[in-house]
Amino acid sequence: MLHKLSLTEVTGDKIVDPIIRELVQQQFERLKGTGLKDPAKAFADPGNHPYLTTKKGGLIPIHKVRLAVDVKPKTVGKGHRERFVAPTGGSNHHTAIIAKLDAAGNEVKWEQKLVPRLEAYQRLRDRKQSGKGESDIIQRDWGKDFRFKFFLMPNDCVEMDDASGQRQVYRVCSISQTPSWNEIQFIEQNDARKIGEARSSWNRVNSIDSLRKRKALKVRVTPLGEIVPDE
């Protein structure tokens, strides 16, 4: 998504397709003239996205781009199954929400530890090889300075305060992380709109510590509609 690109990715040569790259950069320059100098803000509104013009005059909006990346693939499998893979965007398995503790053991800040699907696979493989079975690949021990709170995967549910301070159940739509930002996209459990239409500052969490401030609790909704705590 364009709003997730960094300034370097937008203005540099990371966008693979040269035509798409030029259109994105031209549109970003126009948006900068209106005061939107951060790609996250400039492209937050899909209406600000550039578009391709077809031979018949049709318009094709550009919402996503392919980026050139510098990654070090890892070996997966053995023998004829051996292959080399690398994590890609959208390949996250889960994220662990942990609390940082002060000297007295009080929670002062929440952080997330994102686990890509490749790492989850490696944990599962290691457990099988060590004879521990396949029961759990969630790391719960983060040392004496941290306390494990819960883990989140897409479609998990969290109960937390909404903008009015009322308790609301949210569903996890996606989990993302780059060196410069974190994002967990939620949507209200009873909101049937598409993510793009429902996106707001209250269901798009960029600061993991805001979950602590909103008293987040992982829950599950039973078939009878009961809201019960979950891990």
Over residues 88-117, mean pLDDT: 88
DSSP structure string for 65-103: --B------EEESSGGG-EEE---TT-EEEEEEEEEE-T
Choose the weakest-confidence range: 23-37, 83-97, 180-194.
Answer: 83-97
Given this model, what pLDDT does residue 86 score?
A: 64
Q: Round the CA-based radius of gyration of the chain to a whole number and report it.
A: 21
Counting residues of the chain whose pLDDT is more than 70, the rounded percentage is 90
Q: Which residue has the tokens 């803000």?
A: 41
User: How many C-beta atoms surround the C-beta of residue 160 within 10 A?
Assistant: 21
Given this model, what pLDDT does residue 132 score?
A: 65
Given this model, what pLDDT does residue 214 score?
A: 95
Q: What angle do CA 73, 153, 214 make, to 5 degrees?
A: 125
Over residues 123-138, mean pLDDT: 74
Given this model, what pLDDT does residue 87 score?
A: 60
- 73-93 b/e (C-beta count within 10 Å ≥ 16 → b): eeeeeeeeeeeeeebeeeebb
- pLDDT level of residue 169 (50, 70, 90 thresholds): very high
Q: Residues 57-93: pLDDT tens digits?
A: 899 999 999 988 776 776 767 777 777 766 655 578 8
Output 84 or 169, whichever has higher pLDDT.
169
* Helical (H) or strand (E) element with 175: strand 167-177
**6 pLDDT higher than 60:** yes
Q: Residues 83-101: pLDDT tens digits?
A: 776 665 557 889 999 999 9
Average pLDDT score, the chain = 87
For 14-23, the CB contacts below 8 A with 24+ separation are 14/67, 14/68, 14/69, 15/65, 15/66, 15/67, 15/68, 16/65, 16/66, 16/67, 16/68, 17/65, 17/66, 19/52, 20/52, 20/62, 20/65, 21/65, 23/50, 23/51, 23/52, 23/62
